[in-house]
Amino acid sequence: MQWRELPWKRIALFVVLVALLITSLWFIFRRTRTTLPVTPPTPVQQPITGLPTAQSGAGSTVGGNTQTGNDQSGSKNTGKTIILSDYLLYAPAAQGSNLIAFDQRQGAFVKIDSNGNVNPFDAFRMTNVQGVTWSSDRTSAIVRQSDGTQTAYNFQTKQRLTLPSTWTEVKFAANNRMVIFKNASSVGDARWLAAGNITNGGITLLRPLGDNASSVTVAPSPDGSVAALATIPVDGNSQNLYFIDSKGGVTEPVQIQGGFIQAQWSPSGQWFLFSTADTTNQFKPQLWLGAGEGPNRGNHVLLPLPTTAQQCAFAKDSTLLVCAVPSGPPQSGYGVSEGSIPGIPHTVMAIDLITGTTRTLFAPPTPSTLTTPVVTADGKTLYVTNRTTGLLESIAIP
């Protein structure tokens, strides 16, 4: 009987060793998957006055001094409608005093001047385009097609580079030669925040994301110091906001109210604009302006414009913020929408970021849904797309 007992003892010993090994590996990888530090959040300070600066706190409300019209006298701005019936514009962006966009009907980039004249912007052609991301200097763009193909294109060198399909949320870094992205994978250890060179395809790994990948949003800052944001829930209606720097480091968190964050930086990097929504206001949007630089980066104040960050644009050296705002109380769920919701009338409001004064910049003569505000680089003209009529509205900024 001894020849039967010896194998069972060896098998039992082998099973125990394997179990210990698996348990050890589980503890190791479970610990390393927590990629964001858990530290006490920076308290939201109450109250403060004025708008946030690099030395100010967060959590107050500004504005409330409202004017109507397009200047201090209250005269009405009716805007100018540019009829582009032969075009279907996508991803409009400012270039000097002109507007550039991708025309889905032609499958090409076009340029629109202040008189509404449309001319070719580049010989690049592509069909089934679903999204376009511009570099800040407008020398490059990332074009996404409906089948998931992503192409980086340089308008000066005419170079094309097909990006891996696993690269998600691809956005240009401050130097416009690199892009920041999240590498998507079914394997947690392959999920990374990374930087890619769109000239030669080289990759620099910044930070492992693991199970936190869905909590990270790519958001490169204009000065290149920030690569992405991360939000970790505190409770049902608040989150800790982290800034992930260009080397993968993480700042101490700032507590924010709400979820479903949408964010953008001012071109100067001075401001960090974001919107949130939560159950306390039926997921209607709350718009916040935060300090974009300095030791108190992220400290924020509530703006009196109930809209999302994607519905806003900075103007006049980032001293003015213009937004497409629902004309009446926003509908429930508006704060979690991408852009505007069809059927909701909008007006264009402006808030002076020095004084906090708000005013109506443009009200369509017929109730219309407005979206995708773009301010020209000279700060003189605002373009918005009228989703009700399908036309482009050109509005002078006084």
- The CATH class of 48-396 is mainly beta
Q: Which phi and psi angles does 11 have, rounded to 5°?
A: -60, -45
Confidence at 61, pLDDT banded by 50, 70, 90 = very low
Residues in the chain: 398
Residue ranges per domain, the chain?
48-396
- How much of the chain exceeds pLDDT 70, in percent? 75
For residue 108, the model assigns a pLDDT of 96
Q: 328 falls in which pLDDT band (50, 70, 90)?
A: confident
Cβ proximity of 359 and 349 under 8 Å: yes
pLDDT for the residue numbered 167? 94
Quick one: pLDDT band at residue 115, thresholds 50, 70, 90? confident
- What are the angstrom distances between the C-alpha of 159 and each of 70, 107, 108, 145, 182? 43, 18, 16, 18, 23
Q: How far apart are the first and last CA of the chain?
A: 99
Query: Which residue do the tokens 């507007």 mark?
Result: 99
Cα 89 from Cα 97, distance rounded (Å): 18
Alpha helices in the chain, H assignment, sequence order: 2-32
Name every residue whose Cβ is closer than 8 Å to that of residue 350 and which is 6 or more positions away in sequence.
315, 320, 321, 322, 323, 358, 359, 360, 361, 397
The alpha carbon of residue 360 and the mean position of all alpha carbons in its chain are separated, in whole angstroms, by 25
- Which region among 22-36, 68-82, 317-331 has the lowest average model confidence (pLDDT)? 22-36
Please tell me the distance from the alpha carbon of residue 200 to that of residue 191, in angstroms, as a whole number: 22
* pLDDT tens track for 279-305: 887 888 999 999 999 888 999 999 999
Examine the pLDDT at 127 and tell me if it is beyond 90. yes
pLDDT computed for residue 140 by the predictor: 97
pLDDT score recorded for residue 79: 58
Higher pLDDT, 246 or 52: 246
Average pLDDT, the chain: 79
346-367 pLDDT, tens per residue?
999 999 998 889 999 998 888 8
* 150-154 β-sheet, strand order: 129-134, 140-145, 150-154, 160-163
Neighbouring C-beta atoms of residue 184, cutoff 10 Å: 16
Q: Is 194 helix (H, G, I), strand (E, B) or coil?
A: strand
Helix (H) or strand (E) holding 124: strand 118-125
Does residue 385 or residue 38 have the better pLDDT? 385
Q: What is the mean pLDDT of residues 202-215?
A: 92
